[in-house]
Chain A
């Protein structure tokens, strides 16, 4: 095939169609009879589903509906705050998913589902018919739980930065331009929320930058909980490296029982108000709001009046409609926590289940692991290993282990290397 023809084909069918035609993948993929799997959301859950579906089945037609041109990984995004990494390093586009996996990516916002007609409505691209629908909307934020806080303020001077992107950069800039001896106040949300250790990881990375550039500054963590994941590790590290528990402490953590719960933002005065009525003025305010299922899940009735989407844990099929699957943070998956690692594993189970169903085979018994990492600093990592099984329609936590060793710098170092390695490998497992 000469270049002219190739270019001509590119124009007509786009890169995905071209690669199919050129490299001999099944013609079925584009025939009218090929089942159409539509995926709402191009994050970790949605893209994992597309990729693992394609690995299992060369013939189905796969479409992702996603409003953004690029995806920015949340895992690792706290490290943007102290310049250990950059937003660019965490950013991927959909070209590889389109061309290598023959996935049609529609840059648009899905707005509704017509369950009886099996169609997804979009903002600008009309309706899209599906045979099976996978919904991966991620979480949404309950701004109204903090009086005076709003989406507009989050996009302005009070970024939550809980979705990596412009808000992450805004928070970074605020921290970097804070006056000497200034105060950063972080409001940590109640469970469940995305990536439980991340508020404390965030405080750690901010403190690393401040230690180098603003050593008299303070970080105040106001918590709506009484404990948190890897607490032992974080308190140990903060004690050794940041004077935690002394009058010179850079980091102070105030649990809910000691008055840490934030209930109000007085934006005009850069002040947080706690449940006890205490007013705390800070130079930088980072409210991480409580979570609920993503807007699309609520708008389409998938949540069935709950905060989270009820699913059958066998294959993450919605209990509302047998042709709709929901994966990731938006689902009611307790006792699982909300992590990208688990979202990708939900997606693999969905891919397997759909392929089996299309072939008239029974569903397979799933297993879900959450083998995650977190950091307190570049040289101090922690690991968590959770395994979940499904029995009688319920999720059983078979095992959950968090690293506990404190006085072992070699182990901290190895775990930090593991964590950095995991971040890279994980990103590639979804998008490469």
Chain B
């Protein structure tokens, strides 16, 4: 009896996984989205700009810039945040939503950005 009830619960929670996670605020593991169309590195990385600056290029605020960060350093940092190896006020909760491949695409994106303050950028000439 107990066992079948348990199985019922597991099935129900698997079936309604998304709904229950939304209600409780629980994390839907990023791997569940692994077969979705790829989100490009820029789209992922542009979500970081409100804190780290446009294209990761604010050098004068307390949150570190991301532009020009070496690929492997970015990946290590994000994986450590994701796996809660490196405690942080906000970044653990930011990082745990991404798949490993997404972290790598963000790493490629930020590594390719010019590591100069955004305010110095000649936007119309380009460079980004």
Using CB atoms and an 8 Å cutoff, list the residues of chain A in contact with chain B: 19-20, 23-25, 51-52, 54-55, 58, 100-102, 335, 341, 344-345, 348-349, 352, 364-369, 371, 383, 385, 387, 389, 391, 396-403, 411, 414-415, 417-418, 421-422, 424-426, 428-429, 432
Contact = CB atoms under 8 A, between A and B. Distances in A.
Nearest to A423: B50
B124 A20 contact: yes
Interface string B28-70: 1010010011111011101101111111001001110000000
Contact of A429 (B27, B50, B126): B50
B128 interface: yes
Contacts of B30: 398
B51 to A, nearest CB: 6
Given A348-B46, A429-B54, A364 B40 contact: yes
Contacts of A25: 124-125
Contact of B63 (A100, A335, A399, A421): A421
- Residue of B27, B43, B46, B125 with highest tally of chain A CB at under 10 A: B46
Contacts of B53: 425, 428-429
A23 B18 contact: no
B5 interface: no
A385 B28 contact: no
- Residue of A387, A398, A426 with highest tally of chain B CB at under 10 A: A398
B62 A100 contact: no
Contacts of B27: 398-399
Given A364-B40, A389-B36, A426 B122 contact: no
Contacts of A402: 25
Interface of B: 18, 21-22, 25-28, 30, 33, 36-40, 42-44, 46-47, 49-55, 58, 61-63, 89-90, 93-94, 96-97, 118-119, 122-126, 128
A348 B119 CA distance: 19
Given A425-B51, A426-B50, A432-B54, A401 B61 contact: no
B93 A398 contact: no
Nearest to A424: B61
Contacts of B118: 432
Contacts of A391: 33, 36
20 contacts: A51-B54, A54-B124, A58-B124, A345-B46, A365-B37, A366-B43, A383-B89, A387-B94, A389-B33, A399-B93, A401-B25, A402-B25, A418-B63, A418-B89, A418-B90, A422-B50, A422-B51, A425-B52, A426-B50, A432-B54
A184 to B, nearest CB: 32
Contacts of A387: 94, 97
A365 B89 contact: no
B49 A367 contact: no
Contacts of B18: 396
A425 B50 contact: yes
Nearest to B96: A399
Contact of B50 (A352, A371, A401): A371
Given A383-B90, A425-B58, A364 B39 contact: yes
A432 B119 contact: yes
Contacts of B125: 23-25
B39 A19 contact: no
Contacts of A415: 89
Contacts of B63: 418, 421, 425
A85 B37 CA distance: 44
A145 B6 CA distance: 48
A367 B43 contact: yes
Contacts of A352: 42-43
A102 B124 contact: yes
Nearest to B30: A398
A366 B52 CA distance: 19
Contact of B89 (A24, A52, A414, A429): A414
A69 B46 CA distance: 28
Nearest to A340: B50
A365 B39 contact: yes
Contacts of A432: 54, 118-119
A400 B54 CA distance: 24
Contacts of A403: 89
A100 B123 contact: yes
B34 to A, nearest CB: 12
Contacts of A401: 25, 93
B93 A385 contact: yes
A19 B46 CA distance: 26
A385 B36 CA distance: 22
A367 B44 contact: yes
Given A101-B123, A425-B63, A365 B38 contact: yes
